[in-house]
A and B are shown apart, each in its own frame.
Chain A
Amino acid sequence: AQTVTQSQPEMSVQEAETVTLSCTYDTSESNYYLFWYKQPPSRQMILVIRQEAYKQQNATENRFSVNFQKAAKSFSLKISDSQLGDTAMYFCAYNRDDKIIFGKGTRLHILP
């Protein structure tokens, strides 16, 4: 079975600090996609970053970057220079054949 595990239910960091959210997954496939989605209080799911498993280079999107360790099946998200607007629920997700499997999420609080 494909599973996604986020071991940090909740985190708090000060504004402008860097924070890393952990994610591990389990799959027997060799080609797949990994995502981090953000769900702010509005509950709209917003794509933060995506990683294709066959690409060794870690994806980056402005202040957001990932540390993708394929052998270890680890996919952590780093948020640099955190901002108040980053406060949200963050979901790690695995996608193959269009079916998305979500982790349970990490609630991130950015403190002023």
Chain B
Amino acid sequence: GAVVSQHPSWVICKSGTSVKIECRSLDFQATTMFWYRQFPKQSLMLMATSNEGSKATYEQGVEKDKFLINHASLTLSTLTVTSAHPEDSSFYICSAPKVPEDTQYFGPGTRLTVL
């Protein structure tokens, strides 16, 4: 297997502030990482593809100025929720594919609560 970590595991913030979530591949390198959002009792919704050294690719309907993604190294991607509002409260999960397995390994998730 492979290990992907996320930090923090949970965060509470005030409306209007920004929150940064880190995703790290601990024992492999990943040129791409993926960010998902999961509402309670629902499936994972792909938000964006994080590309090392280049701009992220966002899925339709996801605001790129709201959810800033930076993939600064082969083991780290960050998701920043800017000017957070209560409707941004959710569970955010990242994943990274490990080649040549073509299998996605997932982080443990980050629970964001915006007050």
The chain A residues found within 8 Å of chain B, CB to CB, are 33, 35, 37, 42-47, 50, 91, 95, 98-105, 107
Contact with A along B28-47 (1 / 0, CB 8 A): 00001010001001111010
Task: Please determine whether B46 and A99 come into contact, CB atoms closer than 8 angstroms.
Answer: yes
**Given A98-B32, A100-B46, A102-B44; A44-B108 close (CB under 8 Å):** yes
Task: Please determine whether A35 and B103 come into contact, CB atoms closer than 8 angstroms.
Answer: yes
Assess whether B25 is interfacial by the CB under 8 Å rule. no
Of B12-20, B72-80, B90-98, the one touching chain A: B90-98
Contacts of B93 in A (CB 8 A): 43, 45
Task: Please determine whether B104 and A44 come into contact, CB atoms closer than 8 angstroms.
Answer: no
Task: Please determine whether A45 and B106 come into contact, CB atoms closer than 8 angstroms.
Answer: yes
Task: Please determine whether A104 and B43 come into contact, CB atoms closer than 8 angstroms.
Answer: yes
Q: Identify whether the interface residues of A are mostly helix, strand, loop, or mixed.
A: strand
Distance, CA A82 to CA B75, complexed state (A): 37
**Given A43-B91, A43-B109; A50-B103 close (CB under 8 Å):** yes
Contacts between chains A and B (CB distance < 8 A), count: 50
| CB under 8 Å from chain A, chain B span 65-115 | 91, 93, 95, 97, 102-106, 108-109
Contact partner of A44 (CB less than 8 A), chosen from B42, B43, B102, B106, is B106
Looking at the assembled complex, report how far the CB atom of A62 sits from the nearest CB atom of chain B, in whole angstroms.
15
Contacts of B46 in A (CB 8 A): 99-101
Residue of B44, B93, B95, B103 with most chain A CB atoms under a 10 A cut-off: B44
Residue of A nearest to B49 (CB): A99
Can you list 19 A-B contacts with CB-CB less than 8 angstroms, sorted by A residue number? A33-B102, A33-B103, A35-B103, A35-B104, A42-B108, A43-B108, A43-B109, A44-B108, A45-B44, A47-B1, A47-B104, A91-B43, A91-B44, A95-B104, A99-B46, A99-B49, A100-B46, A103-B43, A104-B43
